[in-house]
Amino acid sequence: MAGLQIKTRSNGEITLQEETVRKFKESLRGELIRIGDARYDDARSIWNAMIDRRPALITSCLGVADVVTCVNFAREHGITLSIKGGGHNISGLAVCDGGLMLDMSRMRGVWVDPSTRTARAQGGCLLGDVDRETQIHGLGAVLGFISNTGIAGLTLGGGFGYLTRRFGWTSDSVLSMDVVTAGGSVVRASEKRTATSFGLSAAAAEWSRASSTGSFPLGLKSSPAQSRGPPRMLAGCSTCTAA
Q: Is residue 79 part of a domain?
A: yes
One domain for residues 83 and 10: yes
Q: Is residue 230 part of a domain?
A: no
* Alpha carbons 208 and 77: distance in angstroms, whole number: 13
235 domain residue, yes or no: no
Paired sense of beta strands 81-84 and 100-103, if any: parallel
pLDDT, position 188? 85
- Which pTM does this prediction carry? 0.81
In a domain, 231, yes or no: no
Distance CA 123, CA 105 (A): 8
What does the pLDDT read at residue 213?
61
Q: Which residues pair with 140 in a beta bridge?
A: 219
Query: What's the CATH code of the domain at 161?
Result: 3.30.465.10
Q: Mean pLDDT, the chain, as a whole number? A: 83
Which CATH number is 86's domain given? 3.30.43.10
* 196 contacts 148 by C-beta, under 8 angstroms: no
Q: Domain residues for 45?
A: 4-103
In one-letter notation, the amino acid at residue 200 is L
Residue segments in the chain with a per-residue pLDDT below the cut of 70: 1, 194-243
Cβ neighbors of 57 (< 8 A, separation 6 or more) are: 4, 6, 21, 32, 33, 34, 99, 100, 101
Beta bridge partners, 186, equal 180
Last residue of a domain, one of 103, 118, 152: 103
pLDDT value for 9: 94
Residues 28, 65 share a domain? yes
The answer to the question of residue 150 being in a domain is yes
Structure confidence at residue 10 (pLDDT): 93
89 and 141 co-located in one domain: no
| Rounded CA separation 79/14 (Å) | 8
Residues 118 and 93 in one domain: no
Q: Each residue of 21-46: pLDDT tens digit?
A: 999 999 999 999 999 999 999 999 99
> Residue 177's pLDDT is what?
87
Residue 226 forms part of a structural domain = no
Number of structural domains (the chain) is: 2
